[in-house]
């Protein structure tokens, strides 16, 4: 029978660890603090911001919000980023994206100090992921996948990991994190030949192509651990992933459900990164 790798217990364990770290920091006189930067009033951004604030406060992490108007000049956001970079009371920064089209997102993102980049979006953070040095933080979704593997005791060493999707937010950094754990990694994308054959070869399979229910039976094999990163809605409005869950359930060894899998761990990772950023600030 397929084991469901639910995200909730992973997030709970991570929260417990974070709360302990926050407690220790508070005893050392440091209140871990997250700054959330938002431009405009997009409902998705507001809802993510509210969720992040709630989760932060529940873990004892302070959350400060900085909201710029929809038509704010690019320089105003640049100034805000520089201000939070320099404020020693702020340890982590979440910059809600996408930024409005008239802004140069790449330039603005890279103004952010990698040390405070708890969402893993700067080139500095990604460099750290690729070199294995702790320059910044891994993107939260990629890290959430690693947390799930660790929590359920699924080792990577010597295993064949197949990652489908090569974005800088998920696939590419996750391939590196798996490689650092000594998996043999195949990174697939839209030009990969015989994708089904590649995926069937994996001991650990990461479905992160962003294609609604693309991966059915023919892509999956017995004994596999499958992490479904996709977030979509079916025609009835129910949330679903990249994997056809019903077809995976009678085939693979373990699977993250959608909803309630990888997505349930991502915000817990973000908050844990803020606590870790605060801890690292003490080292300096
Ligand atoms: P992107 O669209 O940026 O990247 C998709 C990747 O998948 C690309 O590398 C693309 O290849 C590849 N791809 C697309 N179609 C195919 C195909 N038919 N066959 C093989 N590869 C394909 O998506 P993201 O990485 O940002 O997100 C991926 C999914 O994860 C989305 O469903 C998103 O909603 C979800 N997500 C979930 C999060 C969570 O917390 N659970 C957080 C972030 C994202 P190529 O490079 O060749 O174009």
Contacts of 94 (CB under 8 A, 6+ apart): 34, 35, 36, 37, 52, 118, 119, 270
d(CA 273, CA 144): 11
Q: For the CA atoms of 29, 55, 42, 119, what is the dihedral angle to 10 degrees?
A: 60
State which of 210, 231, 269, 273 you would mutate to test the pocket of ligand 1, scoring each by most atoms of that ligand within 8 A of its C-beta.
210
Give the model's pLDDT for residue 250: 83
Q: How many whole angstroms separate alpha carbon 230 and alpha carbon 243?
A: 8
The predicted pLDDT at position 134 comes to 81
Whether the CB of 260 sits within 6 Å of ligand 1: no
The pLDDT value given to residue 283: 86
pLDDT score of 135? 87
Rounded to the nearest angstrom, the distance between the alpha carbon of 242 and the centre of ligand 1 is: 9
The residues with which 145 forms a beta bridge, in sequence order, are none
Q: What is the dihedral of CA 259, 261, 264, 267, to 10 degrees?
A: -130
| Rg of the Cα atoms in the chain | 19
Residues in the chain: 284
Residue nearest to atom 43 of ligand 1 (CA): 141
- CA of 276 from ligand 1 middle (Å) equals 28
In angstroms, what is the span from residue 104 Cα to ligand 1's centroid?
Answer: 22
pLDDT per residue as tens, the chain (284 positions): 999 999 999 999 999 999 999 999 999 999 999 999 999 999 999 999 999 999 999 999 999 999 999 999 999 999 999 999 999 999 999 999 999 999 999 999 999 999 999 999 999 999 999 998 888 999 999 999 999 999 999 999 999 999 999 999 999 999 999 999 999 999 999 999 999 999 999 999 999 999 999 999 999 999 999 999 999 999 999 999 999 999 999 899 999 999 999 999 999 999 999 999 999 999 87
Exposure letters 70-96 (e unless 16+ CB within 10 A, then b) = eeeebeebeebbeebbeeeebbbbbbb
């Amino acid at each position: 029978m397929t084991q469901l790798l639910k995200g909730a217990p992973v997030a709970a364990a991570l929260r417990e660890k974070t709360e302990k770290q926050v407690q220790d920091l508070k005893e050392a006189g440091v209140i871990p603090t997250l700054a959330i930067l938002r431009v405009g009033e997009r409902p998705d951004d507001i809802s993510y911001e509210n969720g992040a604030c709630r989760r932060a406060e529940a873990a004892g992490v302070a959350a400060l919000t900085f909201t710029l108007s929809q038509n704010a000049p690019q320089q105003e956001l640049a100034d805000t980023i520089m201000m939070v970079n320099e404020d020693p009371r702020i340890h982590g920064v979440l910059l809600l994206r996408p930024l409005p089209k008239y802004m140069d997102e790449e330039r603005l993102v890279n103004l952010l100090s990698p040390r405070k980049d708890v969402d893993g979006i700067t080139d500095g953070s990604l460099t750290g992921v690729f070199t294995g040095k702790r320059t910044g933080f891994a993107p939260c979704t990629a890290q959430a996948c690693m947390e799930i593997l660790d929590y359920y005791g699924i080792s990577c060493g010597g295993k064949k990991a197949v990652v489908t999707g090569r974005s800088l937010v998920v696939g590419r950094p996750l391939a590196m994190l798996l490689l650092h754990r000594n998996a043999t990694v195949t990174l697939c994308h839209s030009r990969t030949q015989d994708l089904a054959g590649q995926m069937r070869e994996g001991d650990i399979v990461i479905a992160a192509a962003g294609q609604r229910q693309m991966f059915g039976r023919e892509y999956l094999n017995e004994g596999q651990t499958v992490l479904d990163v996709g977030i979509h809605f079916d025609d009835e409005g129910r949330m679903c992933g990249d994997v056809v869950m019903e077809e995976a359930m009678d085939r693979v060894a373990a699977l993250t459900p959608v909803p309630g899998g990888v997505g349930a761990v991502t915000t817990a990772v973000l908050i844990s990164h803020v606590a870790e950023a605060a801890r690292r600030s003490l080292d300096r």
